[in-house]
Amino acid sequence: MKTKDVLLEIKDLKVSYGHISALKGISLKVYPSEIVAIIGSNGAGKTTTLRTISGLIKAQSGEINYRGHELTKIPAHKIVPLGISQSPEGRLVFGTITVENNLKLGAYSLKKIDYARMEWVYELFPRLKERKNQLAGTLSGGEQQMLAIGRSLMCNPEMLLLDEPSLGLAPILVKLIFKAIKEISKQGVTVLIVEQNARAALRLSDRGYVLEVGNIVEYGNSEELLKSKKIQEAYLGKKKQNQLI
């Protein structure tokens, strides 16, 4: 693994909603061009982590360093031009706007729309091209997910944050989306993906972090995490052997 030039480094990040602390001091690193997965159950703090990186939530303490920029001190709209784009939880496509205009909004931070890039997004998700003049709200869940990812690619990001891209999708669509993510990664985009679907996320990623109620409890190579007994029991649905005996 590349050890130098970390792209994104989170140090002892604490975030709370009122009196409830969502992140209790997490640290993680992302290197250029790798795919990193954060897995964990509901309420573990996965979405909070991504929203804090994007500047939608203020950190209580700690640092998020991205290529020399301290992201915790930068407002959300200035983080996108630095090269960090997010496909948020629940997709949040602009329902009453057409698919094509959603993509154009994705390129908002570029001042000028890169139509070659839009073609690339359409190649990645041909379904979007067929429906480019349709209102985004009329798309199916899977298509909306494609649009959310496509939209986040339009600003030519260096780093892509994906929040639960598999949520609520049929297995065949999950496969399709994850294949696309692999393809995006091949283009040199660094990916930080947050997932409840631990198996799919760990198969896709190079490294993984396991988040439990605001703490990182385990991290390492994704292959090793897939084999780890503890993780298999907690997240991959394998029953404890000794219970069967």
Partner 1 sequence: MYIFIQQVINGLTIGSIFALIALGYTMVYGTMKFINFAHGDLVALSAFVGLTIYTTVVSSFSNSIIAILISLIITIVIISIIGYLLERIAYRPLRKAPRLSAVVSALGAGMVFQNAIMLIWGPNPHYYPADIIPNKIWHFGDSVISLIQILILLLSFFIMIGLYILVNKTRTGRAIRAAAINQDAARLMGINVDAIIVIIFALGSTLGAVGGMFLGMFYRGITFNMGWNYGISAFVAAIIGGIGNIPGAMLGGIFLGLFNSLIAGYISSTWADAFTYILLILILIFKPTGILGERVAEKV
Which residues from 184-213 bind partner 1, rule CB under 8 A?
Answer: none
For residues 72-131, which are near partner 1 according to CB under 8 A?
Answer: 75-78, 80-81, 85-86, 88, 90, 92-97, 101, 104-106, 108-109
The residue (of 143 and 206) whose beta carbon lies closer to partner 1 is 143
Q: Does 168 bind partner 1 (CB under 8 A)?
A: yes
Q: What is the CA radius of gyration of the chain?
A: 18
- Pairing status of strand 35-39 against strand 190-195: parallel
User: Nearer to partner 1 by C-beta: 36 or 50?
Assistant: 50
Number of C-beta neighbours around residue 133 at 10 A: 9
Using CB under 8 A, which of the segments 7-15, 18-26, 121-129, 149-157 binds partner 1? 149-157
Of 56, 213, 226, 236, which one interacts with partner 1 (CB under 8 A)? 56
CA distances from residue 158 to 83, 85, 86, 155, 185 in whole angstroms, order as listed: 5, 8, 11, 9, 10
The Cα diameter of the chain in Å comes to 64
- How many Å apart are CA 9 and CA 15, to the nearest integer? 16
The residues that touch partner 1, with contacts defined as CB under 8 A, are 54-56, 75-78, 80-81, 85-86, 88, 90, 92-97, 101, 104-106, 108-109, 135, 137-141, 144, 151-152, 155, 168
